[in-house]
Chain A
Amino acid sequence: MTNMERHVEKILEQMQSPHDEREEIREEVLNHLEEAKQHYISGGFNEKQAEKRVLSEFGSAETIGNQLQESMYPYQRGLLYVIGIGTILFGVIFYLTSAFFLHNPIPVWLAIQLVTGGTVTLAAINISFVGRYFYLVNVLLLVNVLWNGINIAIMEVRPRWQAIFFGIYLLVLVGLGLVAVIRNAYYSSSPAASKQRHRGMVLLSHIVNLLFGLVVAGVSLFFLWALLAFSEAKADVILTVVPIIIWVITYKFQMRYIPKKPLISIATGLGFSVLSIVLPFMILRLL
């Protein structure tokens, strides 16, 4: 690998572009550098000198990579960092207040909080590797949103000022999470793949589809809560989260289908959502 190729790889390390897009960028940037190098060679520099000159003029790989990432996927990496670190920070503050004000710290809760915040942060750190798998990033984000949503529900039992502070904090986190999911889904189809006038429709379809998901999650968690709170929980508990699992699996299909047929995919999204709720009920009936 030449110095210039290494430089381009470092640039690509900052970017979440999928495979084809990476190849294009790699080729384009390399061509550009090669041309500049030829220009210096014809100006009297030897090959090594020309290469050095070109790379120093082109700028640091990290800066260029970040700039390219921001121009193609604006704020996506930043959002992941904010959500991930925000989730971790919430874990720290909430755990300490639980321990020292309410005398009731729950280490398992802290572990889950740190894991979900940590995975999102790791996705941001490894954006070049993880970011290409848009569905994976969205699953990580959705788990985070779901968990923070559950956290909002348990704030009710807190003293008033704590409930308000933590409630607002979590609402912001959940909101950012949803925005990140929608944007990520939107960017998962390359702009060239669909016509420009479709883009608004595609975005709308992504939003509606996610709203269906929120309803499914809400129904699931309500039954989970009711089961845990009011009866001796057993195997049924697992069944209550089945709708969420089904929805997340069909979401992979939806993410690919929405850019192609934004309108029809609203209908399929609704269908999948209804199915995900009805199916466990039917299983329960049959058992």
Chain B
Amino acid sequence: MSRKMKNISFITGIVLLFFVLWGAGSFASPPEGFSGFGQSTDISPDDSELVFSYYHGDDAALYTVPVSGGKAELLAKPDEGKSFLNPAFSPDGGKIAFVEQWEEEGEEKKQRYSQLRIVDREDQTTETLMNTNDYITKAVFSPDGGSLFFLKAGVFKNYSPISSERPHDFDIFRMDLKTKDIEQLTSKEAYSMSSLNVSADGDQLMYKTYGNRDQLVLHSLEDGKEETIVPAGDFGSKAPIISSPTLSPDGEHVVFSDVAAKDEQGTYVYEGFRMDLDTGKAEQITSFYEHVASPVFFHNEDKLIVTVDKNFAGAEPDNSYWQITADGKERKRVMIEMPES
């Protein structure tokens, strides 16, 4: 074959190859989005039910299931493109507060929204408490059920070009559920604030924030005084990287997840830790060798439910829920049968 022929055949071949592959690729089904369990859960006050988010094609709906496992029931389903996240039971178990998150194409870039909603289990209605003017990330009921404490971000942006866009300028607010009046409890405009908890006696709040390092803050509801705690323990990272801290019902312990070790790929392995609030000392209580997150206490038993992500470093999580004893010695997976959607 002459060189000219070789060139012509080669170029034609490459062009044909491109169109064949392009055509073949367009037959492939479009991305279906993530389907699976969400991270954050809550347990009903009588310890009988677990509420959680389940994603169908990137949209998370809320479901309930008996804490020991079984058939899940749909609680509330969002409109397409939206997700219901971070559920929290009311003290009587009749209502569940949660946030609704979604994205919309804005003028220049995508706009993120996160609004506060509440679902009444009796009459099956869903109400919006705070609309899209505010970016709410987490809400919890006061122990008397009369009000909601929530975290609100002032902005959603990236301060540094090498960080991704996140909510910032956080403060804590309280909403009276009868009058819907809102009271601002802090004026910190904090860079980060998360995992809001209320103590069982309703005297203080606990949240996680960042100031040189991750730390826990106890906020007195009486006088607004704050106490900062940095857990001491045998963590796999230099400073503790606290995730989803939760107050125990007796108010003596905090369970959170933190780096316990690194795996072969250098990915941090998060396990559950339990800290004594008096001493600040934390000890590891789980050994899943996976990513452990979002511990939630039972109200009347010395047990917790944690979320375990078996694909933490991957593109999509692979969450499952596990019951563990408070000392971490026993564990059992909560097997969930999802209804047909």
Contact = CB atoms under 8 A, between A and B. Distances in A.
Nearest to A107: B22
Interface string B144-175: 00000000000000101111100000000000
Given A125-B6, A227-B161, A231-B158, A96 B18 contact: no
B3 A126 contact: yes
Contacts of A107: 22, 25
A99 B28 contact: yes
Contacts of B288: none
Contact of A111 (B18, B26, B315): B18
A134 interface: no
A122 B163 contact: no
A230 interface: yes
A202 interface: no
Nearest to B314: A159
A66 B163 CA distance: 55
Interface string A156-191: 010110000000000000000000000000000000
Interface string B22-42: 101111111110000000000
A110 B30 CA distance: 17
Interface in A205-246: 226-227, 229-232
Contact of B14 (A88, A98, A226, A231): A88
A267 interface: no
B11 interface: yes
Interface residues of B, number: 29
A99 B27 CA distance: 8
Nearest to B163: A230
Interface residues of A, number: 31
Contact of A100 (B7, B17, B28): B28
A92 B21 contact: yes
Contacts of A160: 314
A231 B3 contact: no
A118 B161 contact: no
A100 B21 CA distance: 12
A103 interface: yes
A121 B31 contact: no
Interface string B272-291: 00000000000000000000
B278 to A, nearest CB: 42
B22 A13 contact: no
Contacts of B22: 107, 110
A103 B10 contact: no
Contact of A122 (B10, B17, B30, B314): B10
B315 A95 contact: no
B24 A99 contact: yes
B220 to A, nearest CB: 38
A92 B17 contact: yes
A222 to B, nearest CB: 10
Contact of A110 (B6, B7, B18): B18
A95 B28 CA distance: 11
Given A110-B21, A231-B161, A103 B14 contact: no
A61 to B, nearest CB: 12
B108 interface: yes
A114 B17 contact: yes
A105 interface: yes
A154 interface: no
B109 interface: yes
A122 B14 CA distance: 11
B7 A232 contact: no
Interface string B203-218: 0000000000000000
Contacts of A114: 14, 17-18
Given A226-B162, A230-B163, A118 B31 contact: no
Interface string A122-159: 10011000000000000000000000000000000101
Given A230-B158, A230-B164, A231-B158, A118 B25 contact: no
Contact of B7 (A96, A99, A125): A125
User: Considering the complex of A and B, which 10 residue pairs feature the smallest CB-CB distances, nearest first?
Assistant: A105-B25, A99-B28, A99-B25, A103-B31, A231-B161, A118-B14, A230-B161, A100-B28, A107-B22, A125-B6
7 contacts: A114-B17, A114-B18, A125-B10, A226-B162, A227-B161, A230-B161, A231-B158
Interface of B: 3, 6-7, 10-11, 14, 17-18, 21-22, 24-32, 108-109, 158, 160-164, 314-315
Interface of A: 13, 88, 91-92, 95-96, 98-100, 102-105, 107, 110-111, 114, 118, 121-122, 125-126, 157, 159-160, 226-227, 229-232
Given A107-B22, A121-B10, A125-B10, 12 more contacts: A88-B14, A91-B21, A92-B17, A102-B31, A103-B28, A103-B31, A104-B31, A105-B25, A105-B26, A118-B11, A226-B162, A230-B161
